[in-house]
Structure 1
Amino acid sequence: MAVAAAETRVFLEVRRRLQSALLILGEPDEGGMHLDVSISPTSLLLRTPDGCSETQLPAEVRLVPSSCGGLQYISGEGLHLRLQARTESSPQLISVFKQGLQAQECCTFSCQSCGEVLIKDRKLLRVLPLPSENWGALVGEWCCHPDPFANKPLQPRENDCFIGDSFFLVNLRSHLEQEPKANTKVICKRCKVMLGEIVSSETTKFYMTEIIIQPSEGSFPNIPRSQFVQSVLAQCLVELSSARSTFRFTIQGQDGKVYILLWILNSDSLVMEPLRSSRCVRKFPLLENTLEADSRSAWNAIKVLYQPCIRSRNEELASSWESDISVHPLTLPSATCLELLLILSRSNASLPLSLRQMNSFKVAFLKM
């Protein structure tokens, strides 16, 4: 097969569960030369009159060249091909707390943005998941006597950590110099980022997107902010969709304002970018990270549909989703909601044109 191209942009998405792959060879921006494409189970070979370059596939992916079908040329975009792909099963998600951390291990809580230590050497005796936000109403339905938990919110003791959908609850009474006012923001002293909220005189809520919890003897992991936010949110969304059989979410700020409507399409995508070839380095803009010259060549990702709700956009649709019991709200700091919207917008803008829209929703990937 051949297309004219001065420089070809390659996009590859592999679906693990479907054992299929979508390969797009982009159309040149200008000029052109003849390009021959050869597909082997482990690589893509591109030949031009000036030479050739080879892109190696991730070790866990094997294409089936003989299955090539659905060949389509889209003007202004390039050549689309669909193939069978043999891959390993989807990787198991690692919970925010590994089993080892639950075994009375000393942990340190740090600001993810700058590394400022918030809680040092806290020995967690209990790490427990919180029930859903409607647990009180359910107790009322189940009990034939007055609700014993009425007006008694679940609060952690000194060595507890309760895990919510997008936050942790910890007891910080011994760390506070004075009695705090309820519902006040927790701000990082160094970088001034909002980390959480004080919800009572003893209980503090930290948002998962803002802090890192690790064993006290470990070093602070230097994870780029965008990568961290994507990974945490992708894990939260996948876990919630699995536990509650819901795939639609409203992303709202701590003030209750809805910023994004999010709909999970699938969570088994592997998106690949070639790091090295025989001639040049070529990256997918979607996965490009200017802070990491040696970033991985393939990423597990979830594919989502989204609609922004800022500046009075999609108000009617947002109102409809908020009143729908099958839609799950996910609360984050307002600044992180805007950060997430920027990540989604950049992802969408980097996709081939035909993949950017589905019905009235925009399409994007969040890296795991």
Structure 2
Amino acid sequence: MAVAAAKTRLFLEVRRRLQSALLILSEPDEGGMHLDVSITPTSLLMRTPDGCTETQLPAEVRLAPSSCGGLKYITGDGLHLRLQAHTDSSPQLISVFNQSLQAQECCTFYCQSCGEVTIKDRKLLRVLPLPSENWSALVGEWCCHPDPFANKPLHPRENDCFIGDSFFLVNLRSDLEQEPKANTKVICKRCKVMLGETISSETTKFYMTEIIIQPSERSFPNIPRSQFVQSVIAQCLVELSSARSTFRFTIQGQDGKVYILLWILNSDSLVIEPLRSSGCVKKFPLLEDTSEADSGSAWNAIKVLYQPCIKSRNEELASTWESDISVHPLTLPSATCLELLLILSRSNASLPLSLRQMNSFQVAFLKM
């Protein structure tokens, strides 16, 4: 096979539920050089006269080389083939929020962007999930007598933390020197990032994409911003789609403006995209800039379709989605909506050409 060694890229997506894998060897930009590809149950090996690149699969994944089929060449994209992949069952999704928020523990709230302490040594006696956003309307439908919860919003007490779709509600009355006004932004003192907003004189909403909550005896975990945002939003989407049987979402800012239309295709993907290197080097950069990608592992990811709605794009479709009760809104700070759009765009640009579009939507992966 005549391809350019230095420019050859390999893309592998394993679907856990389907027990299948898609392998793509991308087409070089120019020139040509002999390339041999070897597939074993546990690895992929690409050899050229200049060296080789070996990709070791995760321990829970085994390929079936004899099942290779569907071989085809797509101009401008590369060589495609499909094969069976034996994997363990999909890993159980355990929310990082529930893991971090254990009742009876003293917790510290940090700004995820810079590590500034927002709340220090708060003992949480109750960590409870909030009902769906339309819970009050549903109670009105179910009750044959006046709604006992009318005009009684759920507000946390001093040692409570209520968990919503994409936010935490906490009581900050004892932490503030003066009584805050409702509907005002909460800004990090150090880096000036918007962390949340006040709901009332006692209740503050912190967005999950902006805050890390750790037991006080642990230190602040320095997680790259892009990785953190992807993980939090991916988990929110998977949990919501499972709980509410919905797969379409509008990603909107705290001002109510829609930034992204997002549609979950699947949540069982394992994606590996190693770069070509001289010598038998094992690397697993995944949907990131090459300067950042040296993680040495594959990633579980959700596959999504998306449409940007900035600069008046897709206004008609966004309006249709907003009026559809099967579409769930997910609210984030406006700056984070733009961050997410950039993450999706980078992911899309890193995919083989044939995988970047589906109908009128763009395709991307979000790391779990």
Give TM-score scaled by structure 1 length: 0.95
**Percent of aligned positions that are identical:** 91
Q: Secondary structure at the match of 1:243?
A: helix
Q: Secondary structure at the match of 1:93?
A: coil
Q: 1:5 to 1:215 in 2, by over 3 A?
A: same
Distance 1:110 1:201 in 2: 21
After superposing the two structures, state which structure 1 stretch, 176-185 or 92-101, moved more. Answer: 92-101
Is the Cα contact below 8 Å between 1:285 and 1:350 reproduced in 2? no
Is the Cα contact below 8 Å between 1:274 and 1:281 reproduced in 2? no
Deviation at 1:285, TM superposition (A): 6.3
After superposing the two structures, state which structure 1 stretch, 144-153 or 267-276, moved more. Answer: 267-276
Distance 1:85 1:194 in 2: 44
Deviation at 1:294, TM superposition (A): 4.1
Cα distance per residue 1:322-366 (max 9 Å; x no partner): 000000000000000000000000000110010000000000000
Cα distance per residue 1:106-155 (max 9 Å; x no partner): 10000000000010110000000101011011010111111111111100
Is the Cα contact below 8 Å between 2:103 and 2:127 reproduced in 1? no
Deviation at 1:286, TM superposition (A): 4.6
Q: Secondary structure at the match of 1:278?
A: coil
Q: Secondary structure at the match of 1:285?
A: coil
Is the Cα contact below 8 Å between 1:273 and 1:297 reproduced in 2? no
Distance 2:276 2:47 in 1: 16
Q: 1:6 to 1:169 in 2, by over 3 A?
A: closer
Distance 2:293 2:239 in 1: 31
Deviation at 1:280, TM superposition (A): 5.7
Cα distance per residue 1:220-244 (max 9 Å; x no partner): 0000000000000000000000000
Q: 1:311 to 1:280 in 2, by over 3 A?
A: farther
Deviation at 1:43, TM superposition (A): 1.2
After superposing the two structures, state which structure 1 stretch, 156-165 or 290-299, moved more. Answer: 290-299
Q: 1:348 to 1:123 in 2, by over 3 A?
A: same
Distance 2:246 2:300 in 1: 21
Equivalence for 2:335: 335
Q: Secondary structure at the match of 2:6?
A: coil
Distance 1:173 1:272 in 2: 47
Is the Cα contact below 8 Å between 2:13 and 2:22 reproduced in 1? yes
Cα distance per residue 1:24-63 (max 9 Å; x no partner): 0111111111112111111112222344432222222111
After superposing the two structures, state which structure 1 stretch, 352-361 or 143-152, moved more. Answer: 143-152
Q: Secondary structure at the match of 2:286?
A: helix
Is the Cα contact below 8 Å between 1:17 and 1:89 reproduced in 2? yes
Deviation at 1:292, TM superposition (A): 4.9
Q: Secondary structure at the match of 1:173?
A: coil
Is the Cα contact below 8 Å between 1:127 and 1:160 reproduced in 2? yes
Deviation at 1:321, TM superposition (A): 0.3
Give TM-score scaled by structure 2 length: 0.95
After superposing the two structures, state which structure 1 stretch, 154-163 or 266-275, moved more. Answer: 266-275
CA RMSD of aligned residues (A): 1.9
Aligned residues: 368
Equivalence for 2:346: 346
Deviation at 1:184, TM superposition (A): 0.1
Equivalence for 1:40: 40
Q: Which runs of 5+ in 2 are unaligned?
A: none
Q: Which runs of 5+ in 1 are unaligned?
A: none
Is the Cα contact below 8 Å between 1:3 and 1:36 reproduced in 2? no
Q: 1:100 to 1:221 in 2, by over 3 A?
A: closer
After superposing the two structures, state which structure 1 stretch, 155-164 or 288-297, moved more. Answer: 288-297
Q: 1:349 to 1:259 in 2, by over 3 A?
A: same
